[in-house]
Amino acid sequence: MIQFFAYSESVFCAKVRIALDMKGLEYAELPPPDGYGSKTYKAIIPSGSIPGLKDGNAGLSDSNAILEYLEETAPSPALLPEAAAERALVRMLMGMHDTRIEPSVRAFYAPIKAGTSPSDPCYHQLIENMGAAFERLEDLIEAAPYAVGHHVTLVECAYATTFSQAHQLATMFGGELKLGPKCQRWWQEMQSLSHAATSIDINRKAMQDWVAKFIQVDA
Ligand SMILES: N[C@@H](CCC(=O)N[C@@H](CS)C(=O)NCC(=O)O)C(=O)O
């Protein structure tokens, strides 16, 4: 059986879990033995990072590489469109997630870990920055109803928990994640996908617990 190494609070891991679930694959989800980067874990997943996927002899890492692997080894249901231009758009949006959108959410982690008070103005700036990052998506997605056309693709796997975590953090620090009409519509659709909803729930609870280790927040 596939072994999926993950932490519940990671949106990169959620991407992979959603794809595994959408494809109906059987897998065991485990934390990386002795933590990520450990010698024990690197013996299974050489990069030592999470998410990691062990399938037979393959010890894979990098969420996007894993998603492409799953698409090739378990092609049904397809999570990449047929047309080359649409496939390229899916890959562009996945890259955008990792280089622009997720980093705007991750930016909260350092002050949280440092125990910075929830009333510190730095969080307002981070909420603004996150809104500006998400705003860039408005011109790139179709929201018809999914990001790229009428079918669910890897883009929904990539973004569902990131939208959730962005909303969660903005609310925790007394603000809100402002979304344009297309992003708003798309976010509603993502929440109604049952496999995405499962990972959103796992991620939300794990984040709540993780933040509570460092600071006290109401929401
Ligand atoms: N580009 C990677 C990013 C994943 C990532 O940042 N993982 C973090 C934990 S959330 C990690 O494993 N960091 C330790 C390391 O890279 O050695 C992916 O898409 O999988």
DSSP string across 187-198: HHHHHTSHHHHH
For a mutational test of ligand 1's pocket, the pick from 49, 62, 64, i.e. the residue with the most ligand atoms closer than 8 A to its C-beta, is 49
Residue nearest to atom 11 of ligand 1 (CA): 49
- Walk me through the domains of the chain, giving residue ranges and CATH numbers: 2-73 (3.40.30.10), 84-212 (1.20.1050.10)
How far apart are alpha carbons 28 and 54 in whole angstroms? 10
Interatomic CA distance for residues 214 and 172, integer angstroms: 13
Atom of ligand 1 nearest to the CA of 49: 12
Residue 155: predicted pLDDT: 98
pLDDT digits (tens, 9 = 90+) for 175-212: 999 999 999 999 999 999 999 999 999 999 999 999 99
Atom index in ligand 1 nearest the CA of residue 66 equals 20
- Residue 219's pLDDT band (cuts 50, 70, 90): low
Phi then psi dihedrals of residue 133, to 5 deg: -65, -45
Could you tell me the two tokens for 34? 């002795």
Q: Which residue from 15, 23, 17 is spatially nearest to 4, judged by alpha carbons?
A: 17
Burial 118-155 (b: 16+ CB within 10 A, else e): beeeebeebbeebbebbeebeeebebebbbbeeebbbb
pTM of the entire structure? Answer: 0.95
Written as six digits, the tokens of 130 are: 């996150």
Residue nearest ligand 1's atom 14 by CA: 49
Bridge partners of residue 53, in order along the sequence: 4, 60
Q: Residue 72 pLDDT more than 80?
A: yes
3-state SS class at 117:
coil
